[in-house]
Amino acid sequence: MEASLDRIEQFVDAGGHHLVATVNPEFVMRARSDQDFARVLESADLCLADGSGVVWAARRQGCAMREPVTGVDLIPPLAALCARRGFRIFLLGAAPGVANDLANRLRVEHPELEVEAHAGTPDPSADAATLALIRAHKPQVLLVAYGHPKQELWIDRMRESLGVAVAMGVGGSFDYLTGRIPRAPTWMRRAGLEWLFRLVRQPWRVRRMAVLPIYALRVLRST
């Protein structure tokens, strides 16, 4: 986590545009069959291991990776960093009202933080209106909660127009941070079982998680 925050801070100080991707096993398996999504992930300036499955795979490949860094865990300390450094944040995505709720919560925790929010949509027809709001706020950090692969593809499509130093897809993080969706108990997260908690709470995820056994098998075969 500390290294991730340090790298993001360096990106903002450097300027330009940087994509941060929070990669989980579903991302990896999607990228195997979606060339455009694979291209975007390969172009990312920083890929974070969003979940124990990626950490496990990385360790089997010989990488010294201590822990996962999920989007939902990264946002609170990232907001604290932005408040301390005077970086502006823009929250984009989730259902109507969710991003605004999170923005209000972050303002209470960090009164000095400059944060704005918009539900938006990845549909190209809304790009002009969304871009106008982002440019008006002039954020250094943009968090996009459209879900994968839409959020990463949207960032890639808009990267030349956004004018932000760091753009990161954060999936359902806004829902978790506002309490709309409960998180797994700490012991389950530490044991790498958060996926099981999500599956029990949201049975519709079974179709998405069906790739996990295939992912695990491919990892075992490659090491």
Q: What are the sequence ranges of the domains in the chain?
A: 2-222
Q: Is it the case that residue 16 has pLDDT exceeding 70?
A: yes
Q: How confident is the model at residue 167 (pLDDT cuts 50, 70, 90)?
A: very high
Q: What is the mean pLDDT of residues 216-223?
A: 88
User: Is the pTM of the predicted complex or chain greater than 0.75?
Assistant: yes
Closest of 21, 22, 29, 25 to residue 50, by C-alpha? 22
Judge contact between 131 and 155, C-beta under 8 A.
no
- What residue has token string 């990669």? 23
Q: How far is CA 163 from the centre of its chain?
A: 19
Pick the more confident residue, 209 or 178: 178
**Per-residue pLDDT tens digits for 118-136:** 999 999 999 999 999 999 9
Sheet holding 115-118, edge to edge: 46-49, 18-23, 166-169, 141-145, 89-93, 115-118
In this prediction, residue 51 has a pLDDT band, given cuts at 50, 70 and 90, of confident
What's residue 38's pLDDT? 98
Whole-number pLDDT of residue 195? 63
Tell me: the pLDDT tens digits for 34-50?
Answer: 999 999 999 999 999 99
